[in-house]
């Protein structure tokens, strides 16, 4: 860590004005917050599920998953009684599947306790719970005075203090800004304060073109005196990695060939996807390309190309001797002319 990141941040305004800052923030939140299903009927369980889902996922994407989840597994006990396969299947589409596995393990641990833990220290010992999640859960569910520092809060705090430092990444920025977040916390209502800070970052203090004229705390913000608050915070650029992946689409006897990741895989264990081409067709013919898909994960740009493969006896021999390759009943009915995978499959 650089020397500048170790120095505690001074308050961006006189201590006597903290209460006004908090009052403005909370009044704005009371009138302007978005309706969210986990806010309608708050409970520890709803808070935990929503916080796990929102770790890497936008609110609008997470909402229908949350609603289905709560209907199917309304509490820790019912979630603990589900199998990991069922839980991961319900997470399908949200990505970062370790969140689902950790949530299942966490439910199993809590269901076996006489009562759920109440402090951030105790929550930090549970699967999948880091500093942010522990602070969010305990402040919202138990009024624990623990400030959250997620990407939205980093942006607000960095702008309030007009940070000029170039942070290595969000983890470094969060560590640097955490003491300031704690100083500004409304200790009587820490859960509401934390949600207000995150909502301010999501709705007003936008990454590009922050709405400073509408901001309830603009009078405390040092970034408004700079040329462009959008330039804060600054992060070291990460080199973009370009990856290509060839996959095959092979149907035979109404079954689709899939590749199952190893039970020891770090991210995708036991999950299925179209087999990498190198398993079967080291040099697929370009004219058999049936789909292309581009996606970005973190600093990686991935281009996947799907090739149509034709069943042959030698391929079948290879498939039979490769345990990670298996035929599964295909989840849609093709027409005689349908050779392409439907978009949902890729
Ligand atoms: S005044 Fe502008 S830059 Fe400062 S916290 Fe508010 S929205 Fe963000």
Task: Looking at the structure, tell me whether residues 200 and 261 fall in a common domain.
Answer: no
Range(s) of the domain holding residue 325: 241-345
- What predicted TM-score, i.e. pTM, was given to this entire model? 0.79
Secondary structure element (H or E) that encloses residue 171, with its range: helix 170-184
Task: Looking at the structure, tell me whether residues 13 and 130 fall in a common domain.
Answer: yes
How many CB atoms neighbour CB 16 within 10 A?
7
**Nearest-CA neighbor of 181 among 12, 56, 6, 1?**
12
The pLDDT tens digits along the chain (346 residues) read 444 445 667 788 888 899 999 999 999 999 999 999 898 888 999 999 999 999 888 889 999 999 999 999 999 999 999 999 899 989 988 888 889 999 999 999 999 999 999 999 999 999 999 999 999 999 999 999 999 999 999 999 999 999 999 999 999 999 999 999 999 999 999 999 999 999 999 999 999 999 999 999 999 999 999 989 999 999 998 888 999 999 999 989 888 998 888 877 777 777 788 899 887 888 888 888 988 888 887 788 989 999 998 888 888 888 888 888 989 887 654 444 445 555 445 4
Determine whether the shortest distance from the Cβ of 24 to ligand 1 is under 6 A: no
Task: Looking at the structure, tell me whether residues 184 and 257 fall in a common domain.
Answer: no
**Which residue in the block uniquely carries the two structure tokens 């004229």?**
213
Task: Looking at the structure, tell me whether residues 51 and 167 fall in a common domain.
Answer: yes
Residue 143 has, within 13 A of its CA and on its CB side, a CA count of 3
Determine whether the shortest distance from the Cβ of 218 to ligand 1 is under 6 A: yes
Determine whether the shortest distance from the Cβ of 156 to ligand 1 is under 6 A: yes
Task: Looking at the structure, tell me whether residues 124 and 16 fall in a common domain.
Answer: yes
Q: Is there a catalytic annotation at residue 51? A: yes
Q: At what angle do helices 190-203 and 131-142 cross, to 10 degrees?
A: 120
Q: Which residue among 153, 154, 198, 223 is best mutated to probe the pocket of ligand 1, counting the most ligand atoms within 8 A of its Cβ?
A: 223
- Active-site residue, from 5, 51, 84, 86: 51
Task: Looking at the structure, tell me whether residues 307 and 161 fall in a common domain.
Answer: no
Task: Looking at the structure, tell me whether residues 201 and 332 fall in a common domain.
Answer: no
Determine whether the shortest distance from the Cβ of 180 to ligand 1 is under 6 A: no
Secondary structure element (H or E) that encloses residue 197, with its range: helix 190-203
- Nearest-angstrom CA–CA distance, 320 and 157: 57
**Nearest-CA neighbor of 55 among 106, 121, 20?**
106
Of 218, 235, 252, the domain-final residue: 235
β-strand partners of 257:
327
Cα 3 to middle of ligand 1, angstroms: 27
Task: Looking at the structure, tell me whether residues 196 and 249 fall in a common domain.
Answer: no
- Number of structural domains found in the chain: 2
């Amino acid at each position: 860590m650089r020397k500048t990141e170790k120095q505690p941040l001074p308050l961006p305004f006189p201590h006597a004005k903290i209460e006004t800052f908090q009052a403005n923030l909370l009044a704005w939140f009371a009138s302007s917050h978005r309706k969210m299903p986990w806010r309608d009927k708050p409970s520890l369980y709803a808070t935990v599920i929503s916080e796990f889902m929102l770790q890497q996922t936008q609110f609008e994407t997470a909402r229908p998953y949350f609603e289905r989840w709560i209907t199917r597994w309304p509490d820790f006990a019912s979630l603990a009684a589900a199998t990991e396969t069922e839980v991961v299947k319900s997470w399908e589409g949200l990505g970062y599947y370790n969140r689902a596995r950790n949530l299942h393990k966490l439910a199993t641990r809590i269901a076996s306790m006489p009562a759920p833990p109440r402090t951030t220290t105790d929550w930090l010992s549970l699967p999948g719970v880091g500093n942010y999640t522990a602070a969010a859960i305990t402040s919202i569910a138990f009024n624990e005075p623990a400030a959250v520092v997620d990407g939205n809060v980093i942006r607000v705090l960095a702008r309030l203090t007009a940070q000029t430092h170039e942070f290595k990444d969000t983890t470094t920025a969060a560590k640097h800004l955490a003491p300031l977040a704690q100083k500004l916390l409304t200790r009587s209502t820490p859960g509401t304060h934390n949600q207000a800070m995150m909502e301010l970052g999501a709705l007003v203090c936008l990454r590009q073109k922050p709405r400073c004229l509408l901001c309830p705390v603009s009078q405390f913000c040092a970034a408004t005196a700079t040329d462009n608050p959008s330039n804060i915070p600054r992060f070291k650029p990460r080199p973009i990695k370009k990856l290509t992946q060839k996959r095959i689409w092979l149907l035979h006897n109404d079954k689709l060939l899939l590749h199952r990741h190893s039970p020891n895989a770090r991210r995708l264990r036991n999950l299925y996807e179209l087999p990498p081409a190198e398993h079967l067709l080291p040099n697929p013919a370009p004219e058999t390309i049936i789909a292309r898909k581009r996606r970005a994960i973190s600093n990686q740009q991935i281009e996947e190309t799907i090739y149509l493969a034709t069943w042959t006896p030698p391929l079948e021999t290879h498939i039979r001797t490769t345990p990670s390759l298996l035929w599964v009943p295909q989840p849609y009915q093709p027409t005689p002319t349908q050779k392409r995978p439907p978009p949902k499959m890729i």
